[in-house]
């Protein structure tokens, strides 16, 4: 990295779009700073006081000027607003081909689960040109997942899921930082994002016999095992007489609640319904599910949700 | 403007009217209370400055050298809490607003003199809580106190610090109410709203923000304390709370609080530019109304601190839009100040050097604010040194430069002594250079991706950090020159005439220092503010 360059490395197309907007802002700022600076210098020299008793004539107010320097900046900032907003909106929508990776922040480390079950701590290995969507939560305080080379950042909150996505275009190693102050070792909470060529990534994936070789199940498979171990299957029997609602084909669809309202069954809804099961009761069912607050780790909840999502994907109704 | 008050040398003034400690601690004279605040706030500035020095010292090395992580975190928290809550928020209003508003509007005191003294005591009590938290081991949450870290996880003196801020807030509210009532009810005959100096307009706008905003931070702090002490689930999701709710409440106050800090500085700015170019402020009405616009729009932009907080993207877009709008009145002010210089008679006394420095630094601060209002750019630079640099350009470049400009401009009036012009001017120029060396590299650091509040950092950022630390060392030297020469003038300074510059405004028509009740006779105002074309009346040449 060239220390004298004013731009950090960029490793995605999105990063270059942000840089373009940034450079426009820099150019505009330099223009106005020079404009003000030159005016002040000229006035200071030309109108410096030449005798102690000097009294200049009164200047009349000038409303055309006032309107001009209100309207021109207004037009400029509207350009900035729409340019920034367009990028911001585009960046907030992960593409459909994105691979989902689960991230859990905790004081002071990042825990990462790949779809094949492989896990990492503080590092993230991904293939180049592959869109990646991170679904993130925290086990304690607020953290923030920040990769400067992709110009992306999102806070990672306890009790809910946030997402972040990027499509790296350059092979390399990039900083991963926690950007939200999270306590004593905040500045150590980070590592590296390894963007690898497809071939290298496959080698990395298959090392030690792959995820299964190191005894790791995919999140959905681990979730299925938990689903049985924690006794969920006792009520969520998927039979007409079941005491609990069917989970097949539910994810991403509308669920009707017993107070007449409707919610979309997304990650945040499932998270709440697991740890605080009394909050929203599905129409036609009784509030009999135990509260799992404190009984499951965030990673386990992520695995259960991955399993529930797989039940919808199996039916070919994936969202 | 009005009939000049007859003043003779060596008559009693507010400073020598009585000299016992009791007469200072029980004074209800707005001018003495202003001096009490000046002394108190300078103490806090020193503490906050030492903390800043320790931060820059530690960051000379990428891996840290002197402090543990915990100590470093406590130092930057102390710096932020002390500088914001115990220096910048009260600074210009409590010192100069207190001292000058009654004189500028031709009144003998604020509307509620005893309440004014009570405000100082309340501030001191708040300060004692804040300082005792520091002495007992400090607090490590950052000045922003984000939950659930502050409410559940931090093992430090959160409650004591919060209590200090809570109590000091009441001092602000009472001062704000005092200013609003005074400006409405105590103006001298002929002092209409649009004859008010812009300093008074700026304080009027500031007072409204203080009175409306401060209760919100007080409630927020109470809620954090309730969660910490009684485990009421408000912000911590483990207790059923919402961590982002805290950020909404916090920034609903703390963004307008930025305007509490910078609006009075803009008021000072208008006085200085007018006095040292001998011109009525260009677009007086527009400048006055832009203060009000900033005060009002400033309440609707808090969400721009939360673009990456999980706030809905639609909310993000609205906040981005409104944040751009609030930039316009500030830009308009800068253009009007610059236009005031046109065909003026410009002199470069120390206060004017601060004023011109302010235009430059505040322009950088304002323009970089546009970067942060631009949602997609903010996502990248949020919580990096870019924000740190922007904030310091606005707060030090803006509020602090104007605090010093005001201090030099009204020093002869307040103390009755002249500061040494050449040394003080050299100090102000050195300060300007040192400031830029300290904070400009932080913009680059921020865009490079250096997160804020990092004790250790990747080595490639070390060069820029070292430039910044070098600048901080220079800043310390310049502050020593600036305050040293002021202290020197206390003893050795030449006696100040009633109107040394000379400048327009009622405060320059009474003696330096003013008598206890400001005016022998309440003046009658017959002309607009900054009527510099009548500066010398019939007699040409300066009055001093």
Output the domain CATH number for residue B434: 1.20.210.10
Q: Nearest CA of chain A to the CA of B380: how many Å?
A: 5
pLDDT digit string (tens) for A279-319?
888 888 888 888 888 888 888 888 898 898 888 875 544 33
Q: Is A80–B370 a contact, with Cβ atoms under 8 angstroms apart? A: yes
Query: Bridge-partner residues for A190, per DSSP?
Result: A177
Half-sphere exposure of B280 (CA within 13 A, CB side): 21
A74 chain-B contacts, CB cut-off 8 A: 328
Half-sphere exposure of B415 (CA within 13 A, CB side): 24
- Quick one: tokens of A244? 């609990």
Chain A residue with Cα closest to B539: A53
Residue B9 included in any domain: no
Q: Is A66–B286 a contact, with Cβ atoms under 8 angstroms apart? A: yes
Nearest to A43 among B242, B342, B457 (CB): B342
pLDDT at residue B534, rounded to an integer? 87
How does strand A190-196 pair with strand A152-156? unpaired
Residue B4 included in any domain: no
Phi, psi of A317, deg, nearest 5: -115, 25
Of B469, B444, B475, B434, the residue nearest B64 (C-alpha): B469
A61 chain-B contacts, CB cut-off 8 A: 282-286
Q: Is A142–B360 a contact, with Cβ atoms under 8 angstroms apart? A: no
pLDDT at residue A298, rounded to an integer? 86
DSSP B3: P
Residue B13 included in any domain: no
Q: Which residues lie closer than 8 Å to A34 by C-beta, 6 or more apart?
A: none
Q: Is B320–A18 a contact, with Cβ atoms under 8 angstroms apart? A: no
B316 chain-A contacts, CB cut-off 8 A: 88
Strand A190-196's sheet: what is its strand order? A123-127, A190-196, A172-178, A143-147, A152-156
Q: Is B444–A6 a contact, with Cβ atoms under 8 angstroms apart? A: yes
Q: Nearest CA of chain B to the CA of A209: how many Å?
A: 34
Q: Determine the Cα angle at B89 with ends B83 and B95, to 5°.
A: 105
Chain A residue with Cα closest to B325: A74
Cα(A181)–Cα(B140) distance, integer angstroms: 10
Cα(A147)–Cα(B283) distance, integer angstroms: 46
A52 chain-B contacts, CB cut-off 8 A: 541-542
Chain B residue with Cα closest to A184: B70
Picking from A1, A42, A46, A47 by the largest number of B CB atoms within 10 A of its own CB, the best residue to mutate is A47
A88 chain-B contacts, CB cut-off 8 A: 307, 313, 316-317, 320, 375-376, 379
Q: What is the enclosing helix (H) or strand (E) of A291?
A: none
Q: Is B364–A29 a contact, with Cβ atoms under 8 angstroms apart? A: yes
A3 chain-B contacts, CB cut-off 8 A: 460, 463-464
pLDDT at residue B8, rounded to an integer? 45
Nearest to A56 among B343, B379, B536 (CB): B343
Between B6 and A179, residue with greater pLDDT: A179
What pTM was computed for the model?
Answer: 0.92
- Dihedral of alpha carbons A149, A151, A157, A160, sign: negative
pLDDT digit string (tens) for A223-276?
888 888 888 888 888 888 888 888 888 888 888 888 888 988 888 888 888 888
**Cis peptide preceding A108, ω within 30 of 0:** yes
Q: Which residues lie closer than 8 Å to B26 by C-beta, 6 or more apart?
A: B117
pLDDT at residue B544, rounded to an integer? 37
Q: Is B451–A179 a contact, with Cβ atoms under 8 angstroms apart? A: yes
Q: What is the largest CA-CA distance in chain A?
A: 100
Q: Nearest CA of chain A to the CA of B477: how many Å?
A: 26
Q: Nearest CA of chain A to the CA of B34: how many Å?
A: 32
**For chain B, which ranges sit under pLDDT 50?**
1-9, 538-544
Chain A residue with Cα closest to B155: A183
Chain A residue with Cα closest to B460: A3
Chain B residue with Cα closest to A19: B377
Q: How many CB atoms lie within 10 A of CB B544?
A: 13
Q: Nearest CA of chain A to the CA of B27: how many Å?
A: 39
A8 chain-B contacts, CB cut-off 8 A: 447-449
Residue B15 included in any domain: no
Q: Nearest CA of chain A to the CA of B468: how many Å?
A: 15
A84 chain-B contacts, CB cut-off 8 A: 320, 373-378
Query: Bridge-partner residues for A145, per DSSP?
Result: A154, A178
A135 chain-B contacts, CB cut-off 8 A: none
Q: Nearest CA of chain A to the CA of B329: how many Å?
A: 8
pLDDT-derived band at A5 (thresholds 50, 70, 90) equals low
pLDDT at residue A318, rounded to an integer? 38
Buried b (16+ CB within 10 A) or exposed e, B285-309: ebbbebbbbbbbbbbbbbbbbbbbb
B370 chain-A contacts, CB cut-off 8 A: 25, 28-29, 77, 80
- State the residue range of the domain holding B90: 24-536
Query: Bridge-partner residues for A174, per DSSP?
Result: A193
B383 chain-A contacts, CB cut-off 8 A: 144, 146, 153, 179-181
SS3 A48: strand
pLDDT digit string (tens) for A57-103?
888 888 899 999 999 999 999 999 999 999 999 888 899 999 999 99
pLDDT digit string (tens) for B9-60?
457 899 988 889 999 999 999 999 999 999 999 999 999 999 999 999 999 9
Q: Is B339–A87 a contact, with Cβ atoms under 8 angstroms apart? A: no
User: What residue spans of B231-283 are helical by DSSP H?
Assistant: 243-277
Q: Which residues lie closer than 8 Å to A74 by C-beta, 6 or more apart?
A: B328
Of B496, B478, B538, B474, the residue nearest B411 (C-alpha): B496
Q: Nearest CA of chain A to the CA of B302: how many Å?
A: 16
Chain A residue with Cα closest to B73: A184
Q: Nearest CA of chain B to the CA of A177: how many Å?
A: 7
Q: Is B463–A3 a contact, with Cβ atoms under 8 angstroms apart? A: yes
Residue B2 included in any domain: no
Chain A residue with Cα closest to B74: A184
Q: Which residues lie closer than 8 Å to A172 by C-beta, 6 or more apart?
A: A9, A11, A149, A195
DSSP assignments along B496-524, one per residue: P-SSSS---SGGGTS-SSPPTTS-SS---
What average pLDDT is seen over chain A?
Answer: 89
Q: Is B380–A151 a contact, with Cβ atoms under 8 angstroms apart? A: yes
DSSP assignments along B323-357, one per residue: HHHHHHHHHHHHHHHHHHHTT--B---HHHHHHHH
Q: Nearest CA of chain A to the CA of B367: how many Å?
A: 6
- Note the Cα A256 to chain centre separation in Å: 29
A-B CB pairs within 8 A amount to 279
Q: Nearest CA of chain A to the CA of B383: how many Å?
A: 6
Q: Is A61–B283 a contact, with Cβ atoms under 8 angstroms apart? A: yes
Q: Nearest CA of chain B to the CA of A231: how many Å?
A: 23
User: What residue spans of B137-238 are helical by DSSP H?
Assistant: 158-185, 198-230
Q: Is B154–A62 a contact, with Cβ atoms under 8 angstroms apart? A: no
Cα(B266)–Cα(B340) distance, integer angstroms: 14
Using left for φ > 0, alpha for ψ between -120 and 50, and beta otherwise, residue A215 falls in left
pLDDT at residue A236, rounded to an integer? 87
pLDDT at residue A1, rounded to an integer? 44
Query: Bridge-partner residues for A152, per DSSP?
Result: A147
Domain count along chain B: 1
Cα(B439)–Cα(B392) distance, integer angstroms: 7
Residue B482 included in any domain: yes
Chain B residue with Cα closest to A146: B380
Q: Nearest CA of chain A to the CA of B167: how many Å?
A: 26
- Percentage with pLDDT > 70 across chain B: 97
Q: Is B142–A181 a contact, with Cβ atoms under 8 angstroms apart? A: yes
Cα(B141)–Cα(B408) distance, integer angstroms: 36
ipTM: 0.91
Query: For residues B395 and B254, is the Cβ–Cβ distance under 8 A?
Result: no
Q: Which residue has the tokens 């907030």?
A: A92
Picking from A10, A80, A276 by the largest number of B CB atoms within 10 A of its own CB, the best residue to mutate is A80
Cα(B327)–Cα(A203) distance, integer angstroms: 52
B244 chain-A contacts, CB cut-off 8 A: 157
A271 chain-B contacts, CB cut-off 8 A: none
pLDDT at residue B536, rounded to an integer? 83
Picking from A24, A38, A51, A88 by the largest number of B CB atoms within 10 A of its own CB, the best residue to mutate is A88
- Quick one: tokens of B200? 């008074």
Q: What is the enclosing helix (H) or strand (E) of A146?
A: strand A143-147
């Amino acid at each position: 990295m060239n220390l004298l360059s004013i731009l950090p490395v960029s490793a995605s197309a999105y990063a270059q779009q942000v840089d373009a907007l940034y450079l426009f802002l820099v150019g505009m700022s330099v223009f106005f700073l020079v404009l003000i600076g030159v005016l002040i210098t000229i006035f200071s020299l030309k109108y410096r006081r030449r005798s102690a008793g000097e009294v200049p004539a009164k200047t009349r107010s000038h409303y055309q000027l006032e309107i001009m320097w209100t309207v021109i900046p207004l037009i400029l900032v509207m350009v900035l607003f729409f340019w920034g907003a367009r990028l911001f909106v585009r960046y907030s929508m992960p593409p459909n081909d994105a691979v989902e990776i689960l991230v859990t922040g905790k004081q002071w480390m990042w825990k990462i689960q790949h779809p094949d079950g492989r896990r990492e701590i503080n590092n993230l290995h991904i293939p180049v040109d592959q869109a990646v969507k991170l679904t993130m939560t925290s086990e304690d305080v607020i953290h923030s997942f920040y990769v400067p080379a992709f110009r992306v950042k999102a806070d990672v909150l306890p009790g809910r899921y946030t997402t972040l996505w990027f499509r790296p275009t350059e092979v390399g190693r990039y900083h991963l930082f926690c950007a939200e102050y999270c306590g004593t070792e905040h500045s150590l909470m980070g590592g590296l994002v390894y963007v690898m060529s497809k071939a290298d990534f496959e080698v990395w994936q298959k090392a030690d016999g792959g995820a299964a070789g190191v005894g790791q199940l995919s999140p959905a498979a681990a979730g299925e095992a938990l689903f049985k171990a924690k006794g969920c299957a006792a009520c969520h029997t998927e039979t007409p007489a079941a005491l609990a609602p069917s989970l097949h084909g539910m994810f991403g669809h509308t669920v009707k609640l017993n107070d007449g309202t409707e919610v979309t069954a997304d990650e945040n809804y499932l998270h709440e319904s697991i740890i605080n099961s009394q909050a929203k009761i599905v129409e036609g069912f009784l509030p009999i599910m135990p509260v799992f607050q404190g009984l499951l780790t965030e990673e386990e909840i992520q695995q259960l949700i991955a399993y529930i999502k797989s039940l919808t994907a199996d039916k070919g109704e994936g969202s | 403007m009005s009939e000049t008050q007859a003043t003779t040398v060596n008559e009693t003034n507010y400073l020598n009217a009585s000299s016992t400690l009791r007469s200072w601690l029980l004074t209800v004279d707005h001018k003495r209370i202003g001096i009490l605040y000046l002394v108190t706030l300078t103490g806090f500035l020193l503490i906050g400055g030492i903390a800043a020095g320790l931060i820059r010292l530690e960051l000379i090395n990428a891996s840290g050298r002197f402090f543990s992580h915990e100590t470093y975190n406590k130092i930057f928290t102390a710096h932020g809490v002390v500088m914001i809550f115990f220096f910048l928020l009260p600074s210009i209003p409590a010192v100069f607003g207190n001292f000058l508003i009654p004189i500028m509007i031709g009144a003998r005191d604020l509307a509620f003199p005893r309440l004014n003294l009570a405000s100082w005591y309340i501030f001191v009590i708040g300060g004692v809580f804040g300082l005792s938290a520091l002495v007992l081991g400090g607090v490590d949450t950052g000045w922003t106190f984000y939950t659930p870290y502050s409410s559940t996880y931090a093992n430090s003196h959160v409650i004591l610090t919060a209590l200090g801020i809570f109590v000091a807030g009441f001092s602000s509210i009472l001062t704000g109410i005092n200013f609003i009532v005074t400006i409405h009810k105590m103006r001298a005959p002929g002092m209409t709203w649009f004859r008010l100096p812009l300093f008074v307009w700026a304080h009027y706008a500031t007072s409204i923000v203080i009175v409306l905003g401060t209760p919100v931070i007080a409630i927020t702090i109470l809620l954090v304390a309730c969660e910490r002490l009684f485990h009421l689930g408000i912000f911590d999701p483990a207790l059923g709370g919402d961590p982002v709710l805290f950020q909404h409440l916090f920034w609903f106050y703390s963004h307008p609080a930025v305007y509490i800090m910078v609006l009075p500085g803009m008021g000072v700015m208008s006085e200085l530019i007018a006095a040292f170019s001998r011109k009525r402020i260009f677009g007086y009405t527009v400048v006055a109304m832009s203060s009000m616009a900033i005060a009002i729009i400033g309440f609707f932009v808090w969400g721009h601190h939360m673009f990456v907080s999980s706030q809905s993207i639609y909310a993000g877009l609205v906040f981005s839009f409104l944040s751009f709008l609030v930039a316009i009145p500030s830009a308009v002010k800068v253009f009007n100040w610059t236009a005031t210089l046109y065909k003026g008679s410009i002199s470069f006394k120390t206060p004017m050097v601060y004023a011109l420095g302010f235009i430059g630094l505040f322009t950088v601060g304002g323009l970089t604010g546009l970067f942060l209002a631009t949602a997609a750019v903010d996502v990248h630079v949020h919580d990096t040194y870019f924000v740190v640099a922007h904030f310091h350009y606005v707060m030090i470049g803006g509020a602090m430069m104007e605090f010093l400009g005001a201090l030099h401009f009204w020093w002869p009036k307040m103390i009755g002594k002249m500061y040494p012009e050449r040394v003080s001017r050299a100090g102000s120029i050195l300060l300007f250079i040192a400031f830029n060396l300290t904070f400009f590299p932080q913009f680059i650091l921020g865009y490079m991706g250096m997160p804020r509040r990092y004790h250790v950092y990747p080595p490639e950022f070390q060069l820029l950090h070292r430039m910044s630390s070098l600048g901080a060392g220079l800043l310390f030297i310049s502050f020593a020159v600036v305050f040293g020469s002021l202290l020197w003038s206390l003893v050795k300074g030449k006696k100040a005439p009633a109107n040394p510059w000379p400048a327009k405004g009622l405060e320059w028509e009474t003696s330096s220092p003013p008598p206890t009740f400001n005016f022998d006779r309440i003046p009658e105002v017959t002309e607009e503010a900054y009527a510099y074309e009548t500066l010398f009346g019939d007699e040409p040449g300066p009055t001093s």
